[in-house]
Amino acid sequence: MKLSVLLQDIVPSLLQTDMEITGIQTRAQDIQPGQLFLAIKGYAANGHDYIKTALDKGAAAVVAQNNPDRLNRVIQVENSRRAAGIIAARFFGNPSRDLFLVGVTGTNGKTTITYLLEQMFLAAGFRCGVMGTINIRYNGKHVDAPTTTPDALTIQKTLAQMKQTGITHVIMEVSSHGLDQFRVDGCHFDMGIFTNLTQDHLDYHPDMTAYYHCKKRFFTDFLRPGVNSPRLSAVVNMDDPWGARLAGELDFPVMRVSAETAENSRSMEVRVQDIMDSIQGIFGRMHLGSDTMGFSSFLTGRFNLENILCAAGAAYGAGVKPIQIQQGLAACNGVPGRLEKVANPLNRYLFVDYAHTPGALESVLKTLKQRATRRLITVFGCGGDRDRTKRPLMGKIACRYSDVTIVTSDNPRTENPDQIIEEILAGIRETGTSVTSWPDLSNKDKRLTYADFSGVICHADRTYALDAAVRISRPGDIILAAGKGHETYQVTNTGTIHFDDREQLAAACAAMAEQFVPITWTRNDIAAALETSPATDTRNDGFVFTGISTDSRTILSHEIFLALTGDTFDGHGFIPDLVTRGIRGFVVKTGTRINSKEKNTAPGSGPVVYEVPDTLDALGRLGHFQRTRSGANVLAITGSNGKTSTCRMARAIFQTTYDTLATQKNFNNEIGVPRTLLSLSCAHQWAVVEMGMNQPGEMSRLSRIAGPDICVVTNTTGAHLEGLKTADNVAREKARIFDQAVSGSVAVLFNDDPRVRILKDHARNTPAIEKILTFGSDDTADVYATDIRSSGGMTRFLGHIHGETARFHLQSPARFMVFNALAALAAAAAAGIRIPDMQAGLAAFAPVSGRLSIQTLPGGIHLIDDTYNANPASMTQALVTLAEMAKDPATYGTGRTVAILGDMRELGPDSEHLHRSVGQTAAKLGITRLYLYGPLSSHMLAGALAEGMAKDTVFHGSKQEIEDRVQAFVRSGDWILVKGSRGMAMETFIARMQTLLHDTVSKQGKD
């Protein structure tokens, strides 16, 4: 490109000599012959000192602010830094003019908004690139970013590369440094977002007013209102006073955003209502202009709600549909280092955040404190070689909001870490708070003495500080590591080292989780549990078994093998191979022999063998023995419907207060229950155990194994009638859960159950049951709900618990799930759990896969997966939920509903009638299309037709035929329910629907 073109309107006089420029550089050492060198005065180096070097290396010309040595080919400009942006843009073809470019500016929230907006753009089908604090990313490529806003040359070169690879939309974080240093000059922005303005960078800007005017320049100098954006081009957070000022000073319309729910926010273009904001995330309804939608996000906190609304407003302004905004928001699982959640096995809430300013730290801590039901433990420091005035301020803020403050190092750089800490502590001491000496956490007993600790401690080693935060924590505590966020390094006065807060916290949790290893087994322990001595024991060592296994495929070398038998398998057949593999212990049926060829014949090295009449009974005895010696309490949950969901809700609630073990997978029978209990450790305080049955006598045996302290019966309906014949018999069998409850136990019963009298009578006649608690739909129950509202995929209700009332939220649109929640809440009340912990736990519940879990496919079709199992009651509940969801305007449905239903098994002689009634229910609810699979579902067809459904809206056939018809019928916005008994394998429909319907909607979009 000609030099004259690059310098047009930059240099007032015409160039005497024009020349072709092959490239541009800001580093003299990178110059190649024929390139243009831009001499820029920086803070660590001055490019003007390297002009001669650049010319010697063959630079065609140099652009500089001065030329003291009067060298040839040096072109002087007023501001070479400002000229650099314009020259770079021209050299790379002004790429921003062909892109939809969004700039995000403000003190806090920029990075989070770029991640949110990126997902919304991707959901809309845009090809998106991002330039931000964490990295530059597009088309799967990620490049680390040294600064929030790169230098002008990098910006223009990257935009050109993005454009060449097909990127259409770019989101850029725009910092005040980037604006003041003219890095974005030459960029043409289509949309700008203002987040907020708080104290930061005052070592660079003279004061807050100067800082504000620097940010304002972005909107006045760089936006192109109305060029590419079909709606408003500036999105401003009106909840920030500087944002409100900016909106009033701009001379073009802006999209105003507010997270306030007060009356005066109704004039805002983007606003919210019915917000649930917990430690688990944010849920609610959002108004975008004239559109309304339900939304959910894994992010938490008021400031993140503001970030969400800013991103949604920008997406809406860019023409993204509300349903795509909804999908993009749900797809954003978190932002690196921005109140980022760290998964852990300890039931603690761990967060890592980049907050390194007083305003950001206060915002994060205030957010977490408002949502804390236990202690808030904060680990933080301040960076070296940075604004020292904020150190005592941040100390005061941390102390004000935290129960435990641990002051440590951040990036000390060239400063002494202890001196930085002392300046932080000076602010803390001004509050009258003393600093406690570093705790001795060398063993469990000493750690427990800090379980209720509140105060301030300090340690210059950040590793020790983070480890201590975990070691003194207890279930439900929040731990925040603030200051470093996404950084994977620490800059010290001896150099830069690898350091990642997330890794350090995870390692500390992993070490602490070792206390939850199941209790080991000596030979005497096993003998005591089985009430029999080993039939064979040639070992003369103190060998200890680490666990009990019933699976020859996954058994570990230090576990003992228990050989189960069934109708189609016999574990005894695997014993010879297991002996060869070195397994050292077996529990077998009486009479089973392990001959000498199958043994290691070395003296004292043969396997230990226990012989029992019934190995299934032996498994139960071992499970009960483990339950007893662990000292844990047991919550046992059974019922015809909802026991798995109730179990998951109870686990989520109990984990807020106690170290809790819970049933995994479908371990709810005479094999599964003891397997769950065998995982107990001495550190567990509660076990939440699901119990299922389909034959008389099973529940009593499960009760003997578990020895429950709290017994929950969710309901009794017509399920498993082949084995139990009548619903009353189901109730009588479920009541046997009380049989082996421990003394002083509590029974929790559904007050609305038509057979509750049977359950109550059995509980009252069981001496161990000390108290009966009921849950139900009205105040005749001990625990009940009012004001139940479902919208946008959420259900809200007022829970009344022993005279106390609180608002609860469920991540489920199904109103009937409220009864499962009430059962869990009643159990929690019996266990002494506080209501705030109940609220936090219930908010953490996520629907079980295959149990009314909802997903929205990329094409906008909503799929309800309820394939785990089915009986008449659960079928009705699912159909009602389907009908309600399709009518909810917040879900952007078309109102069209599709039900794919399979047979309900084990219903006994009433099966035909019960299937027919399901078909009638579907017709009464106005289901648009009914597709039926299985021989028994033909009776659903008859019921639907008898109730008035048109013949062409009901179909009974094979899976392939149903898939073909569904694919031909559905369109974006439709709701589909898939449900049937476990034996019908209805989950195969889900997998096929996910593929077929995505392809279908994609083709419709092209048409």
The binding site for ATP comprises: 106-112, 639-645
1002 or 632: which carries more pLDDT confidence? 632
Residue where a domain stops, chosen among 280, 310, 331? 331
Q: Is residue 609 included in any domain, yes or no? A: no
Band of residue 320 on the pLDDT scale cut at 50, 70, 90: very high
Residues 551 and 528 in one domain: yes
CA–CA distance, 1007 with 994 (Å, rounded to integer): 20
> What is the mean predicted confidence (pLDDT) over 806-820?
92
The answer on pLDDT for 176 being more than 70 is yes
CA–CA distance, 109 with 306 (Å, rounded to integer): 9
| DSSP secondary structure code for residue 533 in this structure | -
For residue 786, the surrounding DSSP H or E stretch is strand 783-791
Cβ count near 9 (within 10 Å): 6
Length of the chain: 1007
Residues 835 and 864 in one domain: no
Q: Is residue 722 included in any domain, yes or no? A: yes
* pLDDT value, residue 604: 57
CATH number for the domain harbouring residue 626: 3.40.1190.10
CA–CA distance, 369 with 27 (Å, rounded to integer): 48
The average confidence (pLDDT) of the chain is 92
| 261, 268 contact by CB (below 8 A) | no
Residue where a domain stops, chosen among 516, 548, 568? 516
Q: At CB < 8 A and 24+ separation, what contacts does 89-92 make?
A: 89/152, 89/156, 89/185, 89/186, 89/187, 90/1, 90/5, 90/6, 90/8, 90/186, 91/1, 91/6, 91/21, 91/23, 91/24, 91/36, 91/156, 92/156, 92/157, 92/159, 92/160
Q: What pLDDT, in 10s, does the model give residues 584-603?
A: 999 999 999 886 444 444 55
Cβ count near 430 (within 10 Å): 12
CA–CA distance, 812 with 888 (Å, rounded to integer): 13
The binding site for meso-2,6-diaminopimelate comprises: 386, 410-413, 483, 487
457 or 17: which carries more pLDDT confidence? 457
Residues 353 and 460 in one domain: yes
The answer on pLDDT for 316 being more than 50 is yes
Q: What type of residue is 802?
A: H
Residues 968 and 861 in one domain: yes
Q: What pLDDT, in 10s, does the model give residues 758-774?
A: 999 999 999 999 999 99
Residues 861 and 980 in one domain: yes
| DSSP secondary structure code for residue 545 in this structure | B
The answer on pLDDT for 230 being more than 60 is no
The answer on pLDDT for 498 being more than 90 is yes
- The pTM (predicted TM-score) of the whole model is 0.83
Strands laid side by side in the 559-562 sheet: 547-549, 559-562, 585-589, 608-612
For residue 637, the surrounding DSSP H or E stretch is strand 633-638
Residue where a domain stops, chosen among 494, 516, 538? 516
Residues 100 and 85 in one domain: no
**How many Cα atoms within 13 Å fall on the side-chain side of residue 399?**
23
For residue 672, give both structure tokens: 């599964």
Residues 110 and 239 in one domain: yes
Q: Is residue 232 included in any domain, yes or no? A: yes
Percentage above 90 pLDDT, the chain = 76
CATH number for the domain harbouring residue 587: 3.40.1390.10
Q: What pLDDT, in 10s, does the model give residues 941-951?
A: 999 999 999 99
CATH number for the domain harbouring residue 910: 3.90.190.20
Band of residue 805 on the pLDDT scale cut at 50, 70, 90: very high
Please provide residue 61's backbone torsions phi and psi, each rounded to the nearest 5 degrees. Answer: -165, 170
Residues 71 and 193 in one domain: no
The answer on pLDDT for 921 being more than 70 is yes
CA–CA distance, 366 with 872 (Å, rounded to integer): 48
Domain range for 67 = 3-91
First to last CA, the chain: 43
The binding site comprises: 106-112, 148-149, 175, 181, 183, 386, 410-413, 483, 487, 639-645
* pLDDT value, residue 266: 79
* pLDDT value, residue 1002: 47
- β-strands 141-144, 61-64: how paired? unpaired
> What is the mean predicted confidence (pLDDT) over 124-131?
96
Q: Is residue 610 included in any domain, yes or no? A: no
Residues 754 and 773 in one domain: yes
* pLDDT value, residue 605: 65
> What is the mean predicted confidence (pLDDT) over 56-76?
93
Residues 260 and 161 in one domain: yes
Residues 494 and 542 in one domain: no
Q: Is residue 867 included in any domain, yes or no? A: yes
Q: Is residue 888 included in any domain, yes or no? A: yes
Q: Is residue 481 included in any domain, yes or no? A: yes
Band of residue 312 on the pLDDT scale cut at 50, 70, 90: very high
Q: Which residue has the tokens 């996000």?
A: 297
Residues 253 and 267 in one domain: yes
CA–CA distance, 931 with 996 (Å, rounded to integer): 16
Q: Is residue 607 included in any domain, yes or no? A: no
Number of domains in the chain: 6
